[in-house]
Amino acid sequence: MARIFVTGSTQGLGRLAAEALLADGHRVVAHARDAGRVDDLAARGADVVTGDLADLGQTRSVAEQVNRLGRMDAVIHNAGIMTGPTVLPVNVVAPYLLTALVDRPARLVYLSSGMHRGGRPELDGLDWSGARPTASYSDSKLLLTTLAAAVARRWPEVRTHAVDPGWVPTRMGGAGAPDDLRLGVLSQTWLATSEAPEARTTDGYWHHRHRVDRHPVAGDHDFQDRLLDALADHTGTPLP
Ligand SMILES: NC(=O)c1ccc[n+]([C@@H]2O[C@H](COP(=O)([O-])OP(=O)(O)OC[C@H]3O[C@@H](n4cnc5c(N)ncnc54)[C@H](OP(=O)(O)O)[C@@H]3O)[C@@H](O)[C@H]2O)c1
């Protein structure tokens, strides 16, 4: 039985991951902006932490709440948004800050997207605060995929992966999304818990439990270091 923190567990892929992990007998730390949204998960035994991941102070508080519960075996960085000025804070800054502040787990999984391949490998001119929209969803997912690769390199003892869940019918994906929602949740729960040799690797980019290629810039050490420096500057919190 593992203890797994899932960000954004109110609906969509995060909720499905939390439900699947609970059904498999794992301990889950669910996350919502409003605890009432995950009452049913709490009733099934999940611990609950709260906070808006668009806000640096609330994100720090989420990390403190998680650390008070004890060390996690795995964290699934699932919460994400498609549009709006807070795409960078929610999709990139919050996963970075939680990675830096939550007591280091054995496994880390970041929800990327196939759309990261269309992202711009560019750090200049980005407004990390979210006051101005300076990045697309694709840009944010390329940065998140690079963050995952950077963490895998900095912390080789932590099994760290990024996942493309496919285009699936959630609020974000829309009702007409063509891929299978059931498959969309497989990789992240498997990477967080499985003892299979493939799941016990690191620095992978996965789609439906298969390793696939990611944008090559995610593996560029110079780009990784510049991204970590920019996020450390913005948050005032270096990656330990
Ligand atoms: N659906 C797809 O086709 C698809 C494809 C590729 C990648 N992904 C990725 O998969 C992940 C989950 O997507 P999804 O389709 O399940 O999306 P979703 O149904 O829109 O759910 C997103 C989750 O993130 C939470 N969240 C968003 N902004 C937040 C904030 N500021 N603070 C705290 N929580 C926040 C939401 O909470 P609320 O309910 O409070 O808004 C919700 O729990 C995302 O990272 C997404 O980019 C999805």
Per-residue pLDDT tens over the stretch 156-202: 999 999 999 999 999 999 999 999 999 999 999 999 999 999 999 99
Q: Residue 86: what residue type?
A: T
- Cβ of residue 88 lying under 6 Å from some atom of ligand 1: no
Position 230 scores a pLDDT of 98
CA distance 230 to 50: 26
Position 140 scores a pLDDT of 98
CA-nearest of 39, 37, 35, 146 to 95 is: 146
| Phi, then psi, of 8 in degrees rounded to 5 | 65, 60
Per-residue pLDDT tens over the stretch 208-233: 999 999 999 999 999 999 999 999 99
Question: Dihedral of CA 99/102/108/111: which sign?
Answer: negative
Q: What is the DSSP letter of 86?
A: T
Going from the Cα of 167 to the center of ligand 1, the distance in angstroms, rounded, reads 12
Contact 217, 121 (CB under 8 A): yes
CA-nearest of 143, 162, 3, 149 to 77 is: 162
Tell me, yes or no, if the pTM score tops 0.85: yes
Domains in the chain with CATH codes: 3-235 (3.40.50.720)
CA-nearest of 51, 7, 43, 36 to 22 is: 43
**Residue identifier of the C-alpha nearest atom 9 of ligand 1:** 111
Contact 51, 64 (CB under 8 A): no
Contact 79, 90 (CB under 8 A): yes
Q: What is the DSSP letter of 103?
A: P
The alpha carbon of residue 226 and the mean position of all alpha carbons in its chain are separated, in whole angstroms, by 20
Position 157 scores a pLDDT of 97
Position 150 scores a pLDDT of 98
CA distance 2 to 26: 5
Work out the pLDDT band at 43, boundaries 50, 70, 90.
very high
- Give the position of tokens 């669910």: 30
Question: Which ligand 1 atom sits nearest the alpha carbon of residue 89?
Answer: 31
- Give the SS3 label for residue 172: coil
CA angle 69, 202, 177 (to 5 degrees): 80
Per-residue pLDDT tens over the stretch 101-154: 999 999 999 999 999 999 999 999 999 999 999 999 999 999 999 999 999 999
Per-residue pLDDT tens over the stretch 76-85: 999 999 999 9
For 14, the token pair is: 């995060």
- Cβ of residue 95 lying under 6 Å from some atom of ligand 1: no
- Give the position of tokens 């996963």: 95
- Cβ of residue 165 lying under 6 Å from some atom of ligand 1: yes
C-alpha pair distances (Å), 29 with each of 8, 19, 62, 215: 11, 11, 11, 31
CA distance 162 to 31: 20
Ligand 1 pocket check: which of 111, 167, 207, 214 to mutate, most ligand atoms within 8 Å of Cβ? Answer: 111
CA distance 172 to 24: 26
